[in-house]
């Protein structure tokens, strides 16, 4: 099967410099959702008709094996599909999709494709509460489609029809080359209407069958930011619904966003306003507090992410061990790997560092490029000074170490097993195991000192 995706339109009502089909739904350009559907349907060729912002559209789809054809002037949907005549395999049927209708379900499209054969032209239709400016489906006595009449060409009777054209249809093998050159712009908009193929099919004795979409939302096109926001919420509601059905507790499905994939174990709970990006997995019993933003993170069973934890693996997976506690207000960056039952508290940043089981940094610390052993306690205000202005260096903190508050560990440096670093120390050399190391000015008190007095 060929799939032709129409994406040449400008999208004036988006009031944006970005081509319409590149506006994002769930973090991905709308057209990418459509291209993925084509792949899921097993398209042998996917042809994207580009016009406005063609180069941007092509670069956004660089990862996909699709063919592009240009439509320099937007002279209607029929004209757009005509541009693909040189690119389709004519012995195969052609499914037409729109680049700005991102959420049609696989099941619905499969039903549309299943209705296609060499003597049938199936069209995806939907019943609308308010058919507004859509093309109306005029059925004949047998329930087949007699013709599709555009809103601007319709008479008062036709405007009462609630069944509308979604635009998606399957042109039978060999038909595009026969039909498309016959389209004429004899209509209110002076365009070449793809919808006129219905009359051409019937003139050849073919049937045009309506296939119904499951609901209005799945065939909703995006022409404005209002519609984009509505489509986004519909998509998120669907994702939330499917997780709720799997047993995930979501405090408010209307304040929940997955822009990627989220896999959850049993008894996971997610409070309001969390955003999941990239690939996130939450093990059994994980609790995610309000306002967490997680990207490329694996959270093991029983871990708790307190409110406003931000973790971004930047493509490298962040690992949070079983029973760990993170946040509130913690920041985990690429390469953070937190051991079982470790604690990362408020205003602590962890980058490219491994925290052993049971180790803690509870308040106001920066831990970067570090290897932290087991049962380590990192006090408030501790900083690993990992960067000398040219290169990054490693800080090693061995098992059972306590680092006193407000200490700076100047890397490369190792704090030996079981050692203690006194508060306020600046550690520039390795410290021996089991001992107290203090590196700060000694405290003195001057008994004969007088505070200066203001002159009268
Ligand atoms: C079309 C249908 C109408 C249907 C509606 C559903 C026709 C004649 N009308 O309306 O029956 O109810 O879709 O949304 O087919 N495009 C191009 N090149 C063009 C024209 C359009 O690439 O020359 C693309 C647009 O970017 C968009 C899609 O085709 O993605 C639909 O175009 P749009 O103008 O929104 O639809 P209508 O023609 O108004
Ligand atoms: Ca139009």
User: 23, 33, 79, 363: which is the annotated catalytic residue?
Assistant: 363
Ligand nearest to the CA of 168: 1
Between the CA of 74 and the centroid of ligand 2 the distance, in Å, is 9
CA–CA separation, 214 and 219 (whole Å):
9
| Secondary structure class of 102 (helix, strand, coil) | coil
How far apart CA 212 and CA 122 sit, in angstroms, is: 10
pLDDT reported for residue 452: 93
Span from the CA of 227 to the centroid of ligand 1 (angstroms)? 16
pLDDT for the residue numbered 315: 85
Does the annotation count 363 as an active-site position? yes
Q: Whose CA is nearest to atom 32 of ligand 1?
A: 77
Which atom belonging to ligand 1 lies closest to the Cα atom of 196? 8
The helix or strand, by DSSP H or E, that contains position 179, with its residue range, turns out to be helix 175-179
- Write out the two tokens for 355: 């925290």
Which ligand 1 atom minimizes the distance to the CA of 9?
26
Indicate which atom in ligand 1 lies nearest the CA of residue 148.
11
E strand segments, 334-424? 337-338, 343-351, 354-355, 360-368, 370-372, 377-378, 383-385, 395-397, 402-403, 408-410, 413-415, 420-421
- Residue 145 Cα, ligand 2 centroid: separation in angstroms? 21
Return the ligand number nearest the Cα of 8.
Answer: 1
Tokens of 81: 């599909």
In ligand 1, the atom with minimum distance to the C-alpha of 164 is 12
Could you tell me the distance, in angstroms and rounded to a whole number, from the CA of residue 213 to the centre of ligand 2? 21
Q: Are 369 and 352 in contact (CB under 8 A)?
A: yes
- Mutational pocket test of ligand 1: of 3, 5, 9, the residue with most ligand atoms within 8 Å of the beta carbon: 9
Residues with Cβ within 6 A of ligand 1?
6-9, 49, 71, 74-77, 79-80, 98-100, 134-135, 148, 150, 164-167, 193-195, 221
Q: Report d(CA 157, CA 155) in Å as an integer.
A: 6
The model's pTM is 0.93
Q: 373 C-alpha to center of ligand 1: Å?
A: 61
Using an 8 Å Cβ cutoff, are 232 and 111 in contact? no
Closest CA to 299 of 286, 312, 315: 286
Contacts of 257 (CB under 8 A, 6+ apart): 26, 236, 274, 275, 276
DSSP 223-269: -SHHHHHHHHHHHHHHHHHHHHHTT-EES-TTSEEEEEEEEE-TT-E
The ligand whose atoms approach the alpha carbon of 30 most closely is: 1
Q: Pick the closest to residue 100 from 40, 43, 149, 52 (CA basis).
A: 52
Query: What is each CA distance from 371 to 52, 54, 287, 367, 394, in whole angstroms?
Result: 51, 48, 27, 9, 7
- Ligand with an atom nearest the CA of residue 99: 1
Residues lower than pLDDT 50 in the chain: none
Q: Minimal CA–CA distance to 385: which of 436, 426, 335, 343?
A: 426
Which tokens hold the place of 269? 């709970």
Nearest CA to ligand 1 atom 3: 135
What are 416's two structure tokens?
């030996």
| Closest C-alpha residue for ligand 1 atom 25 | 9
CA of 386 to the centre of ligand 2 (A): 58
Q: Is 27 left (phi over 0), alpha (psi -120 to 50) or beta?
A: left
């Amino acid at each position: 099967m060929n799939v032709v995706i129409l994406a040449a339109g400008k999208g004036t009502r988006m009031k944006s410099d970005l081509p319409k089909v590149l506006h994002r739904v769930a973090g991905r350009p709308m057209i990418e959702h459509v291209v993925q559907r084509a792949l899921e349907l097993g398209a042998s060729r996917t042809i994207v008709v580009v016009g406005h912002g063609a180069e941007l559209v092509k670069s956004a789809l660089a990862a996909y094996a699709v063919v592009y054809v240009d439509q320099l002037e937007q002279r209607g949907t029929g004209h757009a599909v005509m541009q693909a005549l040189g690119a389709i395999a004519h012995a195969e049927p052609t499914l037409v999709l729109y680049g700005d209708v991102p959420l049609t379900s696989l099941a619905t499209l499969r039903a549309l494709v299943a209705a296609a054969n060499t003597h049938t032209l199936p069209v995806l239709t939907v019943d609308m509460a308010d058919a507004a400016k859509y093309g109306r489906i005029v059925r004949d006595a047998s329930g087949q489609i007699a013709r599709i009449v555009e809103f601007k060409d319709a008479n008062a009777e036709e405007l009462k029809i609630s069944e509308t054209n979604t635009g998606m249809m399957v042109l039978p093998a060999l038909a595009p080359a026969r039909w498309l050159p016959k389209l004429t712009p004899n209509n209110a908009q002076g365009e070449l209407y793809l919808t006129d193929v219905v009359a051409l099919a019937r003139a050849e004795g073919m049937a045009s069958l309506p296939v119904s979409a499951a609901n209005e939302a799945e065939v909703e096109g995006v022409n404005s930011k209002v519609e984009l926001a509505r489509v986004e919420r519909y998509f998120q509601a669907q994702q939330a619904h499917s997780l709720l059905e799997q047993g995930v507790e979501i405090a408010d499905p209307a304040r929940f966003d997955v822009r990627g994939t989220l896999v959850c174990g049993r008894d996971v709970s997610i409070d309001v306003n969390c955003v999941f990006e990239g690939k996130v997995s939450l093990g059994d019993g994980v609790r995610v507090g309000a306002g967490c933003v997680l990207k490329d993170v694996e959270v093991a069973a029983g871990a708790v992410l307190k409110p406003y934890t931000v973790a971004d693996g930047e493509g490298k997976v962040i690992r949070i061990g079983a029973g760990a506690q993170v946040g509130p207000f913690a920041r985990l960056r690429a390469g953070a790997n937190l051991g079982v039952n470790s604690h990362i508290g408020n205003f602590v940043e962890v980058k490219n560092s491994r925290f052993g089981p049971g180790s803690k940094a509870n308040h106001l610390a920066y831990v970067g490029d570090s290897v932290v052993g087991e049962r380590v306690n990192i006090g408030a205000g501790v900083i690993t000074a990992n960067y000398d202005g040219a290169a990054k260096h490693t800080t090693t903190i061995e098992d059972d170490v306590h680092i006193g508050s407000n200490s700076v560990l100047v890397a490369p440096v190792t704090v030996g097993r079981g050692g203690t670093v006194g508060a306020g120390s600046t550690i520039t050399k390795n410290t021996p195991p089991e001992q107290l190391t203090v590196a700060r000015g000694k405290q003195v008190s001057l008994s004969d000192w007088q505070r200066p007095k203001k002159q009268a």
